[in-house]
Amino acid sequence: MRQRSAGLLGGLGLLLGGLVSPEARAQGSQVPAVTVPRREDAPTRVIPRLHTVYRVGIAARVNPTGLFTNLSFQLRYRLYDSASPVLKDNFIGVGPVAFLSPAILRGGLGVEFQPFSMLQLSASYEGMRWLGNFNYLQSFPSPNADASDRRLAELGAEGTNYATSGSLLTLAALLQFKLGPVAVRTNPRLFHFNMRLREGDRVFYEPVVDVVAPNGGWVATNDADVLYLAGRLTLGLRYTATGGLYRPQDYPAGESDTGLNPTIHRVGPMISYTFHDEPDRLFNAPTLVLISQWFLSHRYRTGVEVSQAMPWVAIAFQFKGIP
């Protein structure tokens, strides 16, 4: 069975936060957490100014199909102490990050800077290895090439997929605020790919963000959420926009951008349930998440190949902790 190695919502990462939960994560983080009241009998410990944190996320997706695990470990330094909800969640952190899937392996270093609860800036640089299975990697001489699910399967049957390596630079921001039980946030991200492609090819299909990516160029995506926080439960609506930023050099002589690859737009509901949230625990904030979005714009998923009635669906389990 053909399996698309995927990143949930452009790379799920782990728990979001700031004013939504005790900690934020802009770099690849897409799933909300809620602040759950601490049990009265729960053990407590003082979290030192300099401490370590880890995060784990496991996710599956359909339309396109994907399965992956996302890991990070970070040395974090709290910048200052404050009791204010707007200021208390602040830090700078650095540490290894990793992404594991049946078709793609990534690993590298990430850094996060959160000066106050409503804003986080982050960056990561990772080496990538495509294993040459599940019809990947497929590259093309032009963004105008057919990279539909059907065509990728045909090319995989012909054996044109190949193993290769490269690097990924990710830049991200997270801006969020909360008023009563309602939270709003936006999470823009930029991805810069440098892959060793087959001679003559300028672009490749990138299944994590579901676009034909310009090699040596950028892909942009943003998730905007409106959330209602109800204790352990979070309900919300997500709007996502994703697109490749194509340059003249991404096209062969005689070709140009003909509008075949419109910006991808999708929108739909999301729900998450956090079993407990006690920040000083080794195993904390285990959360189940379900997101379903319908495509408003896509080259293949609004009726050309896949019915527009078929949603993009993702389910995930994630947790974090302080060792």
pLDDT given for residue 42 in this prediction:
57
pLDDT given for residue 279 in this prediction:
86
Confidence of residue 133 (pLDDT cuts 50, 70, 90): very high
The 10 Å Cβ neighbour count of residue 83 is 6
d(CA 9, CA 228): 20
Query: What's CA 313's distance to the chain center, in Å?
Result: 14
| Residue 249 placed within a domain | yes
Domain that holds residue 279: 51-124+173-185+219-321
Tell me the percentage of the chain whose pLDDT exceeds 90.
Answer: 83
| Residue 14 placed within a domain | no
Q: In what order do the strands lie in the sheet with 139-140?
A: 139-140, 203-206, 211-214
| Residue 105 placed within a domain | yes
Q: Give 62-113 pLDDT, tens digit per residue.
A: 999 999 999 999 999 999 999 998 999 999 999 999 999 999 999 999 999 9
| Residue 107 placed within a domain | yes
C-alpha closest to that of 282 among 253, 317, 323: 323
Pairwise pLDDT comparison (31 vs 259), residue with the higher score: 259
Ranges 3-12, 37-46, 227-236: which has the least confidence: 3-12
Domain count, the chain: 1
pLDDT given for residue 13 in this prediction:
35
d(CA 253, CA 258): 14
| Residue 259 placed within a domain | yes
Query: Is 202:251 a contact under the CB 8 Å cutoff?
Result: yes
d(CA 299, CA 101): 25
pLDDT given for residue 201 in this prediction:
98
Confidence of residue 285 (pLDDT cuts 50, 70, 90): very high
Q: Which helix (H) or strand (E) holds 176?
A: strand 164-179
Q: Give 148-192 pLDDT, tens digit per residue.
A: 999 999 999 999 999 999 999 999 999 999 999 999 999 999 999
Report cis status (omega within 30 of 0) of the bond before 48.
Answer: no
| Residue 41 placed within a domain | no
Average pLDDT over the chain, rounded to whole?
Answer: 89
Can you give the CATH number for the domain in which 317 is found?
2.40.160
Half-sphere exposure of 127 (CA within 13 A, CB side): 4
Tell me the percentage of the chain whose pLDDT exceeds 70.
Answer: 87
pLDDT given for residue 4 in this prediction:
38
| Residue 229 placed within a domain | yes
Alpha helices in the chain (DSSP H): 149-158
pLDDT given for residue 40 in this prediction:
56
- Give this prediction's pTM: 0.89
| Residue 210 placed within a domain | no
Query: Is 60:315 a contact under the CB 8 Å cutoff?
Result: yes
pLDDT given for residue 19 in this prediction:
34
pLDDT exceeds cutoff 90 at 5: no
Which of 9-37 are b and which e, b meaning 16 or more Cβ less than 10 Å from the residue's Cβ? bbbbbbbbbbbbbbbbbbbbbbbbbbbbe
pLDDT given for residue 25 in this prediction:
40
Q: For tokens 């650095």, what's the residue?
A: 94
C-alpha closest to that of 217 among 242, 243, 191: 191
pLDDT given for residue 37 in this prediction:
55
Confidence of residue 9 (pLDDT cuts 50, 70, 90): very low
